[in-house]
Amino acid sequence: MFRTRLMSGILLVIAALAVIMTGGVFLAAVLCLLSGIAYRELTKACGLRSAQGGISGLEIAGCVMILVYYVMLAASLQWGIMNLYLTMMVVIVAAFLAHLFVYVFTFPKYRAEQVMASMFAFFYAPVMLAFIYLLREGFAQGRYLVWFIFLSSWGSDTCAYAVGVLIGKHKMTPKLSPKKSVEGAVGGVVGAALLFMLYTRLVINVYTDAALPLALAAVLGGVGALVSMVGDLAASAVKRDHDIKDYGKLIPGHGGIMDRFDSVIVTAPIIFIGIAMLLQ
């Protein structure tokens, strides 16, 4: 299992490097695909899908709006057709209205909690994951800045695991994730802060004109690490609520997209907001 997980992790890092460095419409297309898979994993976990499988009307509405969302984001950032933030607002509202249309005109096929679950899944994965694309393409230094997202999620997770294995004694959330320790959490936050400072000093302040203060970069890294842990635990909580082990089997040794990107999904908008504030 460890070998499979390690090989999958290495391949994921290589794929992430290739896709994010390419950027542009290709990145948007890949994130759209990942968002669609994550959305379907969440709707399945939340019991939206019938025992016979297939795809429900609510999921069709969600998948269509995911495609519309990424097309509109690409149109805004690549071709300047529409204001970016207006685009995001319009599509999110349109997605909500699409769910209401399905709910009303198929009533009583779906219950209110199923509509809320589908909209929750739409906002949780596709909307949040899109901030990777927004950070990569929305800033002139985006090809360098975007890696902060992964440093604060995967980087802090690695630091937390190492510290937890070495000195972890006090359980952080024993009912939700018995293996996570307070010491590991502190190690993850401190590790992310140091990684942010190192990356800022050696890359951002050398190859870009961003000139981020090291102290503020460390703060952003620490905050990102905290949010990353919450994202990881939140995804675990959903699984516990619905008595499932993994969201899917797409990635050998890891599970589904939600299993591997749970912390990235929640961290991406926080890092985007932090970078936007630092560079304003």
Gap between the Cα atoms of 137 and 132, Å rounded: 9
- The mean per-residue pLDDT over the stretch 52-61 comes to 82
Alpha-carbon span 240 to 263, nearest angstrom:
17
Q: Is 61 exposed, middle or buried (0-12, 13-18, 19+ CB in 10 A)?
A: buried
31-45, 155-169, 180-194: least confidently modelled range: 155-169
Residues 6+ apart with CB under 8 A from 79: none
Q: Give pLDDT tens digits for 73-96.
A: 999 988 877 788 888 999 999 999
pTM as predicted: 0.92
Question: Judging by beta carbons within 10 Å of its beta carbon (0-12, 13-18, 19+), is residue 180 exposed, middle or buried?
Answer: buried
Nearest Cα residue to 70 out of 146, 147, 122, 19: 122
pLDDT in tens, 229-260: 999 899 888 888 888 888 888 777 677 888 88
